[in-house]
Amino acid sequence: MVASGLAHSRFARAAQSADVPAVSRTGGAVILRAADIVAFQAQQRGPVLTRDSDSYDVVRRVWNGAFDRHPAVIARCTGAADVIGAVQFAARHDLLVAVRGGGHSLPGYSVCEGGIMIDLAPMQGVRVDPQTRVVRAEPGVLLGALDRETQAFGLVVPAGTVSHTGVAGLTLGGGVGRLQRKFGLTVDCMVGADLVTADGRLVRAGSDENPDLLWALQGGGGNFGVVTSFEFRACEFGRTAVAGGIVFPIDQARRVLDAFADYCDSASDELWMDPVLECDGAGHRQLNFTLCHCGDDASAGKDVAAIRKFGKSVRDSVARKPWTAVQSEFDRDSPHGNGYYMSGGRIARLVPIMLDHAVESITLPGAELGKISLTQQGGASARRPAASTAYASRDASHNFVVRASWEHPKDAAARTAWQKRTWKGFEPYSVGLYANLNATDSNVKARSAYGDNLDRLIEVKTKYDPTNLFHLNPNIAPRVA
Ligand SMILES: Cc1cc2nc3c(=O)[nH]c(=O)nc-3n(C[C@H](O)[C@H](O)[C@H](O)COP(=O)(O)OP(=O)(O)OC[C@H]3O[C@@H](n4cnc5c(N)ncnc54)[C@H](O)[C@@H]3O)c2cc1C
């Protein structure tokens, strides 16, 4: 495993001279004594930051600019020993805990006001064994780095669609993306993990050791502790795919979506389709029909030709591309620092009234910078039994996502209101929420996110985190003794 070191800045190491007001696990007030912080700083290899530290204001930022929170301390972890130290410090002082992997949590779970942020971003190692196809990734790794390292050996771990998303949070929630119909979810390739539990122990989760924990980590979120290393069995994969977006004018959107709904029935596992209704900041609306085909030229050509006939496009970027280019093509649509509010759910089947609602909603005021996507699920990700991993609702036909976004806080209220209104029209058709894609005001309702797997998840949660130290996530409450 390659562990990257951190240069310890003079400022990060400056001795803490004042006590620091903080927030406890249950929301009460706590005072961290200066001497305790100094002792904590001395024991860690990575820097421990407080408000006075030079890089504090940069490090506390997360992808969703709607969350401008100030942790009392930030522990920048360089390895498992630092994570153990940080968890023990948090438990000893009964602190509110936020765990940050790639920092892309929609509801801002990876930063907290007044607690401790356990920052895993410095842990960037990826190791690929081309013989066994086993890939180990540290929890600060982003999807782009995972693709780059695995593609060097003609391998891939199926994951999400935006390359600056974190491997850690995405995997722990399930992991849907362009290859899920061919190879399954990210968790379907996860074969092990190292995890620091709430009592500061490092445990291994695998099929031969703590299999209940491995099962829970395959979709149960960050509920059970801090993962310090993920282990995947990668899939053999060429270095290219046919992918991109076919843009249709908004007045054709409804017709194109009808054709899409019909085409889903006969689509092969190689084809992944994600039509996105979108509106730019100036109010221009369009349907960006994004797709990826991971088969050969003949089968890809046949599917792409059929989809092009869904309407008369105005732009078309579909072509054979290097896999790493496919995976980053739409990164710019999700810039860091904008404010976002988002919900994502699963549906059993597309019905015309939903498509009417989607097309109408994108034309309404408040939709500026908004997106509504209807991603086809199924294929390999649906063929595993629902209880084989903690991830629920494998039988959904589509995932739909409604995302509001704003550059200026003054637009937040109107855009969020648009999102909530739009979501309300979809909600009756939802058969469950995708825990990774929700920015609800409170924690995602556990039964809706975890379905029939919830009872078993509660058992694992109670075993590994009985006091709910790790609750800034789509939370599973432990059983009360
Ligand atoms: C632009 C964008 C695109 C996305 N695209 C997809 C997609 O294609 N497919 C998909 O499935 N999802 C997608 N998502 C959702 C994404 O999976 C979640 O937002 C995920 O939580 C991000 O992980 P992260 O490590 O970046 O986030 P973080 O904010 O760092 O963490 C998210 C959650 O995981 C917990 N966590 C993080 N690291 C650890 C760890 N090592 N141990 C224990 N708990 C941990 C955190 O405490 C937090 O609760 C997307 C999100 C965004 C913002």
Query: Mean pLDDT, to the nearest integer, of 237-262?
Result: 98
Half-sphere exposure of 55 (CA within 13 A, CB side): 18
- Which of helix, strand or coil describes residue 360? helix
pLDDT at residue 276 above 50? Answer: yes
Residues 339, 420 within the same domain: yes
Q: Is residue 477 part of a domain?
A: no
DSSP 331-342: GGGS-TTSEEEE
Query: Mean pLDDT, to the nearest integer, of 293-318?
Result: 98
Residues 24, 89 within the same domain: yes
Residues 211, 351 within the same domain: no
Residues 354, 341 within the same domain: yes
Q: What is the pLDDT of residue 8?
A: 44
Distance (angstroms) between ligand 1 centre and the Cα of 294 equals 25
User: For residues 106-142, b (16+ Cβ closer than 10 Å) or e, as one string?
Assistant: bbbbbbbbbbbbbbbbbbbbbebeeeebebbbbbbbb
| Residue 3 pLDDT class (50, 70, 90 cuts) | very low
Atom 13 in ligand 1: residue holding the nearest Cα: 160
Q: Which of 78, 94, 119 is the last residue of a domain?
A: 119
pLDDT at residue 46 above 80? Answer: yes
Nearest to 476 by CA among 395, 390, 399, 394: 390
Distance (angstroms) between ligand 1 centre and the Cα of 102 equals 7
Query: Mean pLDDT, to the nearest integer, of 61-81?
Result: 98
What's the CA dihedral at 53, 54, 60, 64 to 10 degrees? Answer: 160
DSSP 390-415: S---TT-SEEEEEEEEESSGGGHHHH
Query: Mean pLDDT, to the nearest integer, of 396-405?
Result: 96
The CATH number linked to 63 is: 3.30.43.10
Q: Is residue 307 part of a domain?
A: yes
Residues 183, 202 within the same domain: yes
Q: Is residue 9 part of a domain?
A: no
Q: Is residue 15 part of a domain?
A: no
CB of 173 closer than 6 A to ligand 1? yes
Q: Which of 100, 119, 138 is the last residue of a domain?
A: 119
Residues 253, 382 within the same domain: yes
| Atom number of ligand 1 nearest to Cα 222 | 44
CB of 444 closer than 6 A to ligand 1? no
Residues 177, 314 within the same domain: no
Residues 312, 252 within the same domain: yes
Atom 47 in ligand 1: residue holding the nearest Cα: 99
Tokens 């990700």 belong to which residue? 381
CB of 139 closer than 6 A to ligand 1? yes
pLDDT at residue 442 above 80? Answer: no
Tokens 């409604």 belong to which residue? 402
Exposed/middle/buried for 254, CB within 10 Å: 0-12, 13-18, 19+? middle
CB of 471 closer than 6 A to ligand 1? no
| Atom number of ligand 1 nearest to Cα 160 | 8
What CA–CA distance (Å, rounded) separates 166 from 222? 13
pLDDT at residue 80 above 70? Answer: yes
Any residues with CB less than 8 A from the CB of 87 and at least 6 apart, and which?
97, 118, 196, 197, 198, 200, 225, 226, 469
Q: What is the pLDDT of residue 437?
A: 84
Tokens 């960037």 belong to which residue? 124
Alpha-helical regions (H) of 44-79: 56-59
Q: Is residue 471 part of a domain?
A: no
DSSP 297-346: HHHHHHHHHHHHTTS--SEE--EEEEHHHHHHTTGGGS-TTSEEEEEEEE
What CA–CA distance (Å, rounded) separates 51 from 114? 10
What CA–CA distance (Å, rounded) separates 228 from 217? 12
| Atom number of ligand 1 nearest to Cα 228 | 41
Task: Give the chain's mean pLDDT.
Answer: 94
What CA–CA distance (Å, rounded) separates 157 from 170? 12
- Which of helix, strand or coil describes residue 448? helix
Q: Are strands 285-293 and 126-129 parallel, antiparallel or unpaired?
A: unpaired
CB of 436 closer than 6 A to ligand 1? yes
What CA–CA distance (Å, rounded) separates 156 from 384? 20
The CATH number linked to 251 is: 3.40.462.20
Q: Is residue 74 part of a domain?
A: yes
- Which of helix, strand or coil describes residue 214? helix
Residues 249, 391 within the same domain: yes
Total count of domains within the chain = 3
- Convert the pLDDT of each residue in 119-151 to its tens digit: 999 999 999 999 999 999 999 999 999 999 999
Rounded to 5°, angle at Cα 338 from 448 and 110: 50
CB of 109 closer than 6 A to ligand 1? yes
pLDDT at residue 434 above 80? Answer: yes
The encoded tokens of residue 441 equal 């005001």
Residues 319, 217 within the same domain: no
Residues 191, 337 within the same domain: no
What CA–CA distance (Å, rounded) separates 185 from 165? 15
Mutation choice for ligand 1 from 99, 118, 183, CB with most ligand atoms inside 8 A: 99
Q: Which of 61, 93, 119 is the last residue of a domain?
A: 119
Q: What is the pLDDT of residue 438?
A: 77
pLDDT at residue 248 above 90? Answer: yes
* Domain residue limits at 166: 126-237+449-464
Q: Is residue 62 part of a domain?
A: yes
Residues 247, 207 within the same domain: no
The CATH number linked to 209 is: 3.30.465.10
Q: Is residue 402 part of a domain?
A: yes
pLDDT at residue 83 above 70? Answer: yes
CB of 474 closer than 6 A to ligand 1? no
ipTM above 0.95, yes or no: yes
